[in-house]
C-alpha cells in the first residue's frame, strides 16, 4: 500500500528544513507519495487563508503530515482568524489530533549547549504528552462581553472557557500510561487541582484509568511545582501527561532545558494514528532562506512519522541512528556549533544524514 504524505512546509525556514526531511524519507526505499501544499502565512498570501480548503483536504486523506513551521512578524497585524498559527490549530481540530508527543532529549554530544549545569541535564530523556484538542484552546463560550454583576458590573471583560469532557481525559490518559509502559513506567500527571475544577475532574479520571495499568507508577504534580522541578531536577521525570495549555508551557520549558531545541521533534496523533509531525522550534524568519537552519528536528520528526503513522519502526531507527552518527562525526549547524566541531549548512547536514543512513 502506498502511503500519501502531506508535505506542508509553511513559512520562514519551513521549506529548507522540510526539504532535507523529504530527501531522507525518499532514500529509505519505502512506497511513499509526497504531496506538497501551502500553509500558514504563505497560504494566506496565496489564497487568503492560512489553512486553505485544498490543504486541509490533502491533510485529511494523507497517512501523515510532514509540517515545517508557520509564522512571521509581517502577519502579526492580521486579525486572529487569518494569522498563520490558526492553520495549526485548524489542522489539530479538524483531524482530531488530540495526542501531542514531545520528547525532550539531550544528546550527550550537545550537553554544553544547555544553560543548565551538565550534571543536571546530561542524558535527559523525558517525554511530554500534551492533550491537544481540548481545554481552554477551544472551549466555549469565549470572547469579550459586558460584566453583568459584581464589582466590575458594566465594564468590558475578556473571557475563555477551560473544559475537559470525561472521554477526552480518558483517551489521553491511556496514551500516557501506554507510553510509560514502554519506558521507565513512571507517569506524572500535571494539573492545578488545588484551584481548578477542570483539574480536579482530570485528576479523578487519571486515578481511575490507572487501575488498568498497575505496572505504571502514577503521580500528580501541580503545574507551578512542575515548572520548578523541571528546572531543579528534570531527570526525575519519565513521562508527563497534561492538558493543552499547561502542556504548551511545560513542553517548551522542557525543550529549552536541552539548549538544543533545533534537535527536538514532535508528533500529534489522532485515534487512528494519523499524525502531524513538526519540529518543536519555530519558523525563525530572521534566518530563512540562508541555508543555516538546523534540519535535524524535522528529520527526527520524519522518524516519528515512520514509527507512529506508518508503522515502519526499522526505518525510524535507521533515521535516528543516522542523526546520532552525524553528531558523532562532529557536524553541527550554527545553532548547536561549538569550538572543536565542524559547522555545516542546512543542506550539508541533510547530505550527511543521507550518507549515514
Ligand X SMILES: CC(C)[C@H](C(=O)O)[C@@H](O)C(=O)O
Choose between 30 and 195: whose C-beta lies nearer to ligand X.
195
Task: Identify whether the C-beta of residue 338 lies closer than 8 Å to the C-beta of residue 8.
Answer: no
Q: Has 75 been annotated as catalytic? A: no
Given candidates 224, 236, 286, 328, which one binds ligand X under the rule CB under 6 A? 224
User: Binding to its own copies by residue 208, rule CB under 8 A?
Assistant: no
CA distance 67 to 83: 17
Query: From the centroid of its chain, how far is CA 29?
Result: 27
Q: Has 224 been annotated as catalytic? A: yes
Q: How far is the CB of 328 from its own copies (least distance, A)?
A: 25
Q: Is 286 annotated to bind ligand?
A: yes
* Cα separation values, 24 from 19, 28, 159, Å: 9, 7, 45
Residue that the C-alpha cell 522542557 belongs to: 254
Q: Is 152 exposed, middle or buried (0-12, 13-18, 19+ CB in 10 A)?
A: exposed
> Among ligand X, its own copies, none, what does residue 74 contact (CB within 5–8 Å per kind)?
none
List binders of ligand X among 160-219 (CB under 6 A).
194-195
Query: From the centroid of its chain, how far is CA 246?
Result: 14
Choose between 245 and 357: whose C-beta lies nearer to its own copies.
245
- Say which of 204, 208, 224, 317 is annotated catalytic: 224
Choose between 238 and 248: whose C-beta lies nearer to ligand X.
248
Which among 70, 82, 52, 88 is positioned nearest to 11, based on CA atoms? 70
User: Binding to ligand X by residue 248, rule CB under 6 A?
Assistant: yes
Phi and psi at 74, nearest 5°, equal -65, -15
Q: Is 94 annotated to bind ligand?
A: no
Interface with ligand X (CB under 6 A): 85, 88-89, 194-195, 224, 248
Cite the active site residues: 137, 192, 224, 248, 252
**Could you tell me which residues are annotated as the binding site for substrate?**
92, 102, 130, 224
Amino acid at each position: 500500500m502506498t502511503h500519501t504524505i502531506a508535505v506542508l512546509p509553511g513559512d520562514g525556514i519551513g521549506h529548507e528544513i522540510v526539504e532535507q526531511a523529504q530527501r531522507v524519507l525518499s532514500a529509505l526505499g519505502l512506497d511513499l507519495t509526497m504531496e506538497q501544499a501551502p500553509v500558514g502565512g504563505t497560504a494566506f498570501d496565496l489564497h487568503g487563508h492560512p489553512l486553505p480548503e485544498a490543504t486541509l483536504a490533502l491533510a485529511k486523506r494523507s497517512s501523515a503530515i510532514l509540517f515545517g513551521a508557520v509564522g512571521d512578524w509581517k502577519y502579526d497585524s492580521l486579525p486572529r482568524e487569518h494569522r498563520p498559527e490558526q492553520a495549526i490549530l485548524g489542522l489539530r481540530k479538524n483531524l482530531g489530533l488530540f495526542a501531542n508527543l514531545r520528547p525532550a532529549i539531550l544528546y550527550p554530544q550537545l550537553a554544553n549547549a544547555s544553560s543548565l549545569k551538565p550534571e543536571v541535564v546530561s542524558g535527559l530523556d523525558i517525554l511530554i504528552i500534551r492533550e491537544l484538542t481540548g481545554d481552554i484552546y477551544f472551549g466555549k463560550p469565549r470572547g469579550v462581553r459586558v460584566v453583568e454583576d459584581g464589582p466590575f458590573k458594566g465594564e468590558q471583560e475578556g473571557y475563555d472557557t477551560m473544559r475537559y469532557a470525561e472521554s477526552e481525559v480518558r483517551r489521553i490518559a491511556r496514551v500516557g500510561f501506554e507510553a510509560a509502559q514502554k519506558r521507565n513506567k513512571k507517569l506524572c500527571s500535571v494539573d492545578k487541582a488545588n484551584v481548578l475544577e477542570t483539574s480536579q475532574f482530570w485528576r479523578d479520571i487519571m486515578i481511575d484509568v490507572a487501575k488498568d495499568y498497575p505496572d505504571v507508577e502514577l503521580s500528580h504534580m501541580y503545574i507551578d511545582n512542575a515548572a520548578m522541578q523541571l528546572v531543579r531536577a528534570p531527570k526525575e521525570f519519565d513521562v508527563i501527561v497534561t492538558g493543552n495549555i499547561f502542556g504548551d508551557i511545560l513542553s517548551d520549558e522542557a525543550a529549552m532545558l536541552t539548549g538544543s531545541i533545533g534537535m527536538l521533534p514532535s508528533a500529534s496523533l489522532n485515534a487512528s494514528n494519523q499524525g502531524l509531525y513538526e519540529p518543536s522550534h519555530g519558523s525563525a524568519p530572521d534566518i530563512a532562506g540562508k541555508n543555516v537552519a538546523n534540519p535535524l528536528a524535522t528529520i527526527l520528526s520524519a522518524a516519528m512519522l515512520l514509527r507512529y503513522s506508518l508503522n515502519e519502526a526499522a526505518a525510524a531507527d535507521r533515521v535516528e541512528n543516522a542523526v546520532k552518527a552525524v553528531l558523532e562525526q562532529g557536524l553541527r549547524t550554527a545553532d548547536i556549533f561549538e569550538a572543536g566541531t565542524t559547522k555545516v549548512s542546512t543542506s550539508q547536514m541533510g547530505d550527511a544524514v543521507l550518507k549515514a543512513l
